[in-house]
Structure formats: structure tokens, C-alpha cells
């Protein structure tokens, strides 16, 4: 698993690892340069050893040939060479010439003069044998002078050939070194290019991983803040990592949850009655306006039921305000249970409730109101002392547009119908009536 996706790696650790990987290209380049330098030195050492295979034997041959000059023209008798010494020199020359021949086989066109030197050496060896071999020199004294003269000429010619071969070997070695240097330089270039590519690829990989481990959580945080700013308090940020970003996301989620809860609390305070948990007077006015406007557009009817608990002041005076609050809560729950889905239950004020019935005509609204009245009368309020209190309620019903032409008029009509119900003996439902000829309401 890459370090940037590990859930146990903190942002601080990832930054340290990411910055540390920036040194990888330098280390790889330094290692590659060292390897290239060592390889170049080794290859030049090998090339130098190849040159020495020819130059050292050739120099040895040249030195021995110079020593043979004493055979052709000794200056002093003390500097003369014996037959045994010559044989040792002869063996050394043969060995050196054999080494030169092996080297010349690698490039015969360049070093064909080795064969010429070997041929001339055979003649020099014959002359030296004639001069130094005791068995031959004692029987043929007349050949000695002519042999020495020829030996001097042969030594002079072979030394010239050796010198020319030496120059050619040096030139060949220089050319070989230059060619080998070009090869080594090209190899070093290729090696450095490969190392640079690998180092850059590795650095790019780590840089991408590090950037992804930072930008992806930041994008999630940015998206969350943007949605929160637009009012979407239910949005939560989900990060699988366990680093500083995850801690920040958890803090954001906690803040969003608190804001969402605060919004719900504010909404409840602004729209619901604090005691009965039904809509308050402000929401009643808003809902009624919405339904009346909808009725005007769609020619549907909307009805309003006003509910008032009978003798509520007497209940408070007899059993206390806590019993009155309990009675209000019981009535609110009963209203929510008895109305249809889509009907709106509100606390209008004091012991009075209002029920908005969308798309409901007068007869249906009266039936619903009668069902509510019976439910209130049949369900007593049970106090904390287990004492039961019987309750009744008076209800007024009005319908738009049959009984009213505006929202305010509808409220007035329902309220007047409630007043008539209370004046008529309470525990009953009264429906507002309207004379269609003169638009005078009859209650």
C-alpha cells in the first residue's frame, strides 16, 4: 500500500516522506556517476593493459638488440658477450617476439611488420651463432669479420623496424584510447539518461501521491464547506484516513451536526407552540394564507375549524395550571390523531385551537368537527395523581369561499360560529351560514 493511501500515516509523516524522496534523484545520479566513473577507469585499465602487451615486449626486444651491438663491434674485451649470454638473450627475444605475434593476430594489417622483424631476427641469430658459437668460430675464422659487418647492418635495419613498430603501436594505442573514450562517453550518457528518467519518474510518482493525499481531502473539505454555506446542513464529509484532515473532517461534521440541530430547534421555536408541539399562531396565518390562495387558483374549498375547551378557566382554578397545561397537550394530540393527513393543527391562543382543512367543503368539515368533539368528550384527562377530568369543547366551522371572501373574513366567520356554539350551551359544533343574496352572514 502506498504511503499516501495508508490510513495510519499522518500528514506530517507524508510530508517528511515526500520531501525525503526529492533526494532520491540526487542520490541516484550520484550513484550512477560513481558507477560510470569506476566502469570507465576499469575499461581504460583494460585498454592500457592491452597496449602494454605489445609495447613492453617490443621495448624488451629493442634493449636486447642494442646489447647485441657488442657482438658485432666490441669496444673492449670486457664488454664482449659470451655464447651462454647470447643464448639467454636469444631465448628472451624469441619469447618477446612470440608475445608480439599473438598481439599482431588481433589486427594483422596494422602489425604485419612483426613478421618482418622475426625474419630479420632469424638472420641475426644465424650471424651471432657464427660469431659466438665456439665450434663454428674456431673452424671458420675467415667468416668472422664479414659476419660482424653483416650483423651490424642487420641490427641497424631491425632496430629501425622496431622503432617504426613502436611508433605505430603508440599511435594505435592513442587511437584505441580515443575510440574507447567515445564508447565510454556514450555508455555514460546512456546510463545517466536512464538514471535521470528513473529518478524523475520516481520523483513524479511520489509527488503525485503526495499531492493526491493532500488535494483529495482538501477538495472534500472544500465541497463540504460550500454545501454548508448553501444551507445543506445535513451534508457530512467522509474521509477514510486517520490524519489531520480526518480530524478536521470530524470537527466539521460535529459543527454541521450542531448547526443542523440548532436549525431544527430554531425552526421548532419559530413554527411550533412550545407547550403543545403543534403549529403556533404565526404558522397558522401562513398556512391559512397559502390554502386560501390555492383555493382561489384551483376553485377548491378550504374550511377552518375553531376549537375552544369549555370551562377551561374553571379547570385551572380547580386543579391548577399544570392540569390545564396537561389538558391542552391532550387536546393537541387528539386533534392531530383525529384529522386527516394534510390537515393543519394549530394553537390559536390560550385554550383555543384551529384546524385548517384543505380541499374540504362545509358538510365534510362539519363531520370532521363532530368527530373531534366526540373524541374530546369521550377521552378524559388523567392527571399525575391518576384523577380523571372530563372535558368538552365547542367548535365553530367556516368554509372559503362559501362563508367568506378573504382569509381574515374566514377567521372571523369561524370565530363567530364558535361564539354561537358556546352561547348555545357548549359541547357542540356550529357552522357559519351566509345569505348569497346580500352577502350577510347568518350565525
Q: How big is the CA angle at 68 (ends 66 and 72), to the nearest 5 degrees? A: 115
Instruction: Cell numbers for 253, please give them.
Output: 461534521
Q: Which residue has the cell 545520479?
A: 29
Q: Which of 150, 291, 330, 351 is catalytic?
A: 351
Q: How big is the CA angle at 55 (ends 49 and 56), to the nearest 5 degrees? A: 85
DSSP states of 3-43: GGG-TT--HHHHHHHHHHHTTHHHHHHHHHHHHHHHHHHHH
The C-alpha atoms of residue 59 and residue 121 are separated, in whole angstroms, by 15
End-to-end Cα, the chain, rounded Å = 83
Pair type for strands 388-389 and 381-382: antiparallel
Query: Does residue 403 contact residue 362 with C-beta atoms inside 8 Å?
Result: yes
If 0-12 CB within 10 Å is exposed, 13-18 middle and 19+ buried, where does residue 378 land? exposed
Instruction: Cell numbers for 216, please give them.
Output: 483529495
Q: Is 378 a catalytic residue?
A: no
The C-alpha atoms of residue 222 and residue 237 are separated, in whole angstroms, by 10
- Cα dihedral angle (286, 439, 418, 284), rounded to 10 degrees? 0
If 0-12 CB within 10 Å is exposed, 13-18 middle and 19+ buried, where does residue 361 land? middle
Q: Active-site residue numbers? A: 351
Amino acid at each position: 500500500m502506498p504511503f499516501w493511501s495508508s490510513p495510519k500515516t499522518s500528514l506530517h509523516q507524508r510530508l517528511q516522506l515526500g520531501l525525503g524522496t526529492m533526494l532520491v534523484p540526487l542520490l541516484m545520479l550520484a550513484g550512477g556517476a560513481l558507477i560510470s566513473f569506476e566502469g570507465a577507469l576499469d575499461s581504460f585499465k583494460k585498454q592500457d593493459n592491452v597496449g602494454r602487451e605489445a609495447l613492453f615486449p617490443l621495448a624488451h626486444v629493442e634493449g636486447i638488440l642494442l646489447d647485441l651491438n657488442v657482438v658485432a663491434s666490441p669496444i673492449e674485451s670486457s664488454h664482449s658477450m659470451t655464447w651462454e649470454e647470447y643464448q639467454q638473450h636469444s631465448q628472451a627475444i624469441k619469447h618477446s617476439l612470440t608475445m608480439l605475434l599473438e598481439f599482431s593476430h588481433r589486427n594483422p594489417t596494422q602489425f604485419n611488420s612483426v613478421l618482418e622483424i622475426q625474419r630479420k631476427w632469424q638472420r641475426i641469430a644465424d650471424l651471432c651463432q657464427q660469431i659466438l658459437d665456439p665450434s663454428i668460430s674456431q673452424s671458420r675464422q675467415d667468416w668472422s669479420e664479414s659476419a660482424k659487418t653483416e650483423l651490424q647492418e642487420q641490427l641497424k635495419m631491425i632496430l629501425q623496424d622496431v622503432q617504426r613498430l613502436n611508433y605505430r603501436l603508440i599511435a594505435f594505442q592513442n587511437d584505441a584510447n580515443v575510440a574507447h573514450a567515445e564508447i565510454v562517453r556514450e555508455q555514460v550518457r546512456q546510463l545517466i539518461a536512464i538514471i535521470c528518467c528513473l529518478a524523475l519518474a520516481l520523483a513524479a510518482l511520489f509527488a503525485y501521491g503526495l499531492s493526491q493525499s493532500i488535494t483529495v481531502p482538501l477538495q472534500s473539505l472544500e465541497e463540504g464547506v460550500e454545501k454548508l454555506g448553501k444551507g445543506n446542513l445535513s451534508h457530512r464529509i467522509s474521509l477514510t484516513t486517520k490524519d489531520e484532515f480526518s480530524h478536521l473532517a470530524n470537527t466539521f461534521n460535529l459543527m454541521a451536526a450542531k448547526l443542523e440541530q440548532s436549525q431544527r430547534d430554531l425552526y421548532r421555536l419559530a413554527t411550533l407552540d412550545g407547550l403543545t408541539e403543534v403549529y403556533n399562531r404565526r404558522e397558522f396565518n401562513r398556512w391559512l394564507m397559502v390554502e386560501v390562495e390555492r383555493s382561489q387558483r384551483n376553485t377548491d374549498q378550504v374550511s377552518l375549524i375553531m376549537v375552544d375547551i369549555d370551562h377551561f378557566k374553571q379547570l385551572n382554578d380547580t386543579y391548577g395550571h399544570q392540569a390545564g397545561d396537561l389538558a391542552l397537550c391532550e387536546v393537541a394530540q387528539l386533534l392531530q390523531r383525529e384529522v386527516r393527513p394534510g390537515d393543519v393543527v394549530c394553537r390559536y391562543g390560550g385554550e383555543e385551537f384551529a384546524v385548517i382543512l384543505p380541499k374540504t367543503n362545509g358538510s365534510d368539515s362539519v363531520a370532521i368537527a363532530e368527530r373531534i368533539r366526540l373524541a374530546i368528550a369521550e377521552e378524559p384527562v388523567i392527571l399525575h395523581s391518576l384523577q380523571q377530568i372530563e372535558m368538552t369543547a365547542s367548535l365553530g366551522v367556516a368554509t372559503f369561499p362559501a362563508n367568506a371572501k378573504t382569509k381574515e373574513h374566514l377567521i372571523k366567520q369561524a370565530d363567530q360560529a364558535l361564539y354561537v356554539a358556546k352561547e348555545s350551551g357548549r359541547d357542540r359544533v356550529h357552522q357559519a351560514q351566509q345569505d348569497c343574496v346580500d352577502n350577510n352572514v347568518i350565525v
